[in-house]
Every structure is written in C-alpha cells, then in structure tokens.
Amino acid sequence: MAPERLRELLEILGDADLDNIVLMAALDPSMVRDAMEKVRKDVGGVASPWSAFERVKANLLYNASRQRFGMPLVDLCAPLDMLQGVAL
C-alpha cells in the first residue's frame, strides 16, 4: 500500500502517525471498515474510492497487526452484513 493511502486512512481514524501497532490491532473492525469507505484518491481530478486491491492491502495490514497480538482475524472486505462474527 502506498504510504499516502495509509496516511489517509490513519487520518480518518484519528492518528496519522500511528506510532503504536497495538492501537491498530485494538481498533474495532467496523471503525476501520467505515474509514476505508471514506478514503478517496484523486484519479484524473476526480475523487474515487479505493480499488479492490487497496482495500485488500488495508485488510491485510489490519489483520497482521491483530495476529501479532493474538486477536481474531476479520475480513473487512466482506459484505457489511457478513462482517460481524466472521473469522478467517
């Protein structure tokens, strides 16, 4: 994931520097998913949502931080009605 994309996501979550990976792991999955929905990138002067690959990269980063601390993995790219209680 490009550093500027990660920074945009972290700014929406409220900590653009994120100097503690435990904070990333501790975030509620629905909060991260909501932030992913809000992130926009400039494509030819038009604000566009993240691509599927950018969303998957954010999902992998989030789950890597959760795995590091023994927390259950979640699929942030699954349809919203399937998000709760989905373990990977």
| Tens digits of residue pLDDT in 18-55 | 888 999 999 999 999 999 999 988 888 888 888 899 99
Q: What is the percent of the chain with per-residue pLDDT over 90, rounded to a whole number?
A: 56
Strands 46-49 and 40-43: antiparallel
pLDDT at residue 75, rounded to an integer:
93
Say whether pLDDT at 58 is over 60: yes
Tokens 């691509």: give the residue. Answer: 51
CB within 8 A of 37, min separation 6: which ones? 49
Overall average pLDDT of the 64-69 stretch: 96
**Least confidently predicted of 2-6, 12-16, 54-58, 66-70:** 2-6
